[in-house]
Homo-oligomer: A and B are copies of this chain.
Amino acid sequence: MLLRMSSLFLRTLREDPADAEVPGHRLLVRAGYVRRAAPGIYSWLPLGYRVYQNVERIVREEMDAAGFQEVHFPALLPREPYEATNRWTEYGDNLFRLKDRRGNDMLLGPTHEEMFTLLVKDLYSSYKDLPVALYQIQTKYRDEARPRAGLLRGREFVMKDSYSFDVDDAGLDASYQKHREAYIKTFSRLGLDFEIVSATSGAMGGSRSEEFLHPTEIGEDTFVRCTTGHYSANAEAVVTPVPSSIPLEGLPEAHIEDTPDTPTIESLVAAANAMFPGRSFTAADTLKNVVVTLVHPTGEREPLIIGVPGDREVDTKRLEASVAPAEIEPFEAADFAKHPGLVKGYIGPQVLGDGSETGIRYLLDPRVAEGTAWITGANQPGKHVFDLVAGRDFTADGTIEAANVVEGDDCPVCASEGGDGKLTLARGLEIGHIFQLGRKYAEALGLKVLDQNGKLVTVTMGSYGIGVSRALAAIAEASWDEKGLCWPREVAPADVHLVAQGKATKDAAVFEAAEKLALELEAAGVRVLFDDRGKVSPGIKFKDADLIGVPSILVVGQKLADGVIEFTDRRSGSTETLPVGEAVKHVVAAIGA
């Protein structure tokens, strides 16, 4: 079907839409690909849905090629399976819950581990049936607290989710590897740069887990790479190398000092250096105690204090990954009022932790190793304590990975192997995620098979996701210039944007030749977007072609009188003239149709 601009349901916008935060999304709206229907919820217009279908097709073809089998689950699901795995509660506010007319609890599926587990349990019963890998491409729902950046973080979105089922760990490793390879092929074909980084498994449980991140400044994930190139990880997954303990014997006694007017770490360090001229304190010698409120999935609220060296910040995403499925909220003035033991601005570890005066849970950054000495709050206004030694003067309820990762930090892998690699930081967008779930879901839902010895064993699972609508958005973010979008050919809504220049009434020969060419190209298997609008100025047609971003632009115009037309590469802008008679052959060869 020839796509004609004269009837295409499309209106390009000259102005940037108010609600678009990132450049690719702005262009998707301006060029008439998508339209916002509600916060975090989008409608696809004809051009957009074509691109979407191309992305979906590529994903499907690669999953089929890997031997994974397509199924399709409902999005509207009963509560019970999610109750069995505790995710009904754990998902907290991110889950869309509803009741049907009989009052039964239901949910909109955010991901389908439970349903796949039950389906395999329903059909399979022997090790001979395994391995099996199933997938679906399906609409998912998450009630994001902060929908953002258009399709990048929506509340209704399309995911390809796969699940592997194996009888043992070696099988899971092999299934995981197969998915890893299929993902590499998929993202390569989508024309998306990616980096495979180690990941925490977050709320999903399980062990080995990697993310496919598309490196981009607008990414919401920070990831690290070791200067040696042997390690890369999501910042949330970075494990802090633990310094060696220092023998406690002979360390100076702790002493409380007046430290008026030291509201910041910087002023505290200056005061300390002024007070003890022989010593040279830095922010790294101070211990900052940060209070937050943990909100458990049950709704229970718990204060939590985290101790980090003063040269670090608490990184919310790293903290959230460490405390998941609990969420973090600020600890407000009203909360302080309920805990008079906490002296705001002067909190010290002596009154914290299980069995202490306040009884508030206290977790330390791993750098606060036994024997390290700190300047920290003295739990009295205007006073700090110096030379407070971890393991001698205070202890905590454990350690936590919550401090921010900083460019130049030691690489944890190198550190454990005696190397000296340093971390560099970059931002990326999660476009894929592969997990070794292990037996968590199979155990909760009773998925067992008979093994070779006739013994019932619990199946081990993997879970693998690609954000299909998000991948499209990522491609858009990676494919634009100041004039508009520049789609990679395989996902583009058409191969060629054919412009008939001039007015239909005045330039009938041009329009006739263009129409003929359009039909010939279609017959040759070229997907054509034909700008056959009879009353629109060439300037607007060219602007629209640039904005829409089809990879090749053909112009039939004045030069038709000389028997030639123009063929432009949208991305590079390079133009060549083609004899009309050879246009089809040339275009077919150029685009590899």
Contact = CB atoms under 8 A, between A and B. Distances in A.
A5 to B, nearest CB: 12
Given A1-B65, A43-B73, A49-B70, A11 B124 contact: yes
Contacts of A42: 74
B71 A108 contact: no
Contact of A108 (B64, B65, B76): B76
Contact of A43 (B44, B71, B97): B71
Interface in A50-93: 52, 64-65, 67, 69-78, 93
Given A38-B74, A74-B37, A64 B1 contact: yes
A590 interface: no
Contacts of A94: 101
Contact of A119 (B35, B97, B98): B35
A75 B75 contact: yes
Given A35-B122, A71-B9, A132-B7, A76 B46 contact: no
A49 B70 CA distance: 7
Interface string A112-130: 0001000100111000000
A71 B49 contact: yes
A124 B155 CA distance: 27
Candidate in A37, A49, A76 with the most chain B CB atoms within 10 angstroms: A76
B77 A43 contact: no
Contact of A76 (B67, B97, B156): B156
A69 B38 contact: no
A415 interface: no
A134 B49 CA distance: 12
Interface stretch (A137-145, A183-191, A348-356, A395-403): A137-145
Copies assembled? 2
Contact of A41 (B43, B64, B76, B122): B76
A96 interface: yes
Contacts of A139: 75, 139
Nearest to A132: B9
A79 to B, nearest CB: 10
Contacts of A37: 73-74, 77-78, 115
Nearest to A50: B70
A324 interface: no
A15 interface: no
A8 interface: yes
Nearest to A1: B64
Contact of A97 (B1, B7, B98): B98
Contacts of A32: 123
Contacts of A96: 76, 98, 100
A45 interface: yes
Nearest to A122: B35
Q: Is the interface of A mostly helix, strand, loop or mixed?
A: mixed
A141 B101 CA distance: 13
B38 A75 contact: no
B101 A98 contact: no
Given A96-B100, A132-B7, A49 B72 contact: yes
Q: Which interface residue of A7, A37, A44, A134 has the most chain B CB atoms within 10 A?
A: A37
A31 to B, nearest CB: 13
B115 A43 contact: yes
A94 B143 CA distance: 23
Contacts of A93: 101
Contacts of A1: 64-65, 67
Interface string A26-48: 00000010010110011111100
Given A1-B64, A71-B44, A100-B96, A76 B141 contact: yes
Contacts of A122: 35
Contacts of A43: 71-74, 115, 119
Contacts of A141: 76
Contact of A156 (B74, B143, B156): B74
Which of A42, A46, A67 gathers most chain B CB within 10 Å?
A46
A72 to B, nearest CB: 4
Nearest to A44: B72
B98 A71 contact: no
Q: Which 8 A-B pairs have the closest CB atoms?
A: A98-B98, A44-B72, A38-B78, A93-B101, A11-B123, A41-B74, A46-B69, A101-B143
Given A9-B123, A32-B123, A45-B71, 17 more contacts: A9-B132, A37-B77, A41-B77, A42-B74, A43-B71, A43-B72, A43-B74, A43-B119, A44-B72, A52-B72, A75-B75, A76-B108, A76-B155, A76-B156, A98-B98, A100-B143, A100-B155
10 contacts: A1-B64, A9-B123, A37-B74, A37-B77, A41-B74, A43-B71, A46-B70, A93-B101, A96-B98, A97-B98
